Amino acid sequence: MLPTRDDDRVTDADPLELAERMCRAIESADLDALQACYHPDLVTWTNTGGEVDRARSLEMVGWLCRKLADRHYDVHRRVALPDGFLQQHVLRGTAPDGRAVAMPACIVGIVRDGRIARMDEYLDPTALSALR
């Protein structure tokens, strides 16, 4: 069972359910729910910005939520790995100027203690320019 937003721990979480919960939290801009998915020692690496810690990762997602309206994930593939999950998706939404945005990406998530402890994200940075 996954936690409610008042619970800061995810125990016995299936990695695929955890990936789904992370996506739902971002779609709804629920940073508290997203924080509950993240391990306290989370490290996120992106091909566009390098490595950041949990606090900076949450700041970046907050920025994305403010800039990209109507966010939704089109998940093309989500598979369990021995230590986490792999997800291939397109994050879609609307830029501040009204343009449709499609951001293809692939995430490799490592799960430890029922939460995401590391994410490596490979994304097409072209869509980011529409959000600046």
Task: Extract the tokens encoding 49.
Answer: 């910005």
Is residue 1 one of the residues assigned to a domain? no
Is residue 3 one of the residues assigned to a domain? no
Is residue 112 one of the residues assigned to a domain? yes
Total domains present in the chain: 1
Is residue 7 one of the residues assigned to a domain? no
Q: Is the CB of residue 123 less than 8 Å from the CB of residue 25? A: no
CA-to-CA separations, 79 to 1, 26, 84, 91, 115, in angstroms, rounded: 19, 19, 9, 18, 16
Q: What is the mean pLDDT of the chain?
A: 91
| pLDDT value of residue 66 | 96
Is residue 30 one of the residues assigned to a domain? yes
| pLDDT value of residue 127 | 85
Is residue 47 one of the residues assigned to a domain? yes
* CATH classification at residue 52: 3.10.450.50
Give residue 76's domain range.
Answer: 15-131
List, for residues 3-60, the tens digit of each pLDDT value. Answer: 333 344 444 579 999 999 999 999 999 999 999 999 999 999 999 999 999 999 999 9
Rounded to whole angstroms, the Cα distance separating 89 from 105 reads 6
Pick the closest to residue 131 from 105, 99, 106 (CA basis). Answer: 99
DSSP string, 50-80: EEEEHHHHHHHHHHHHHHSEEEEEEEEEEEE
Rounded to whole angstroms, the Cα distance separating 126 from 89 reads 15
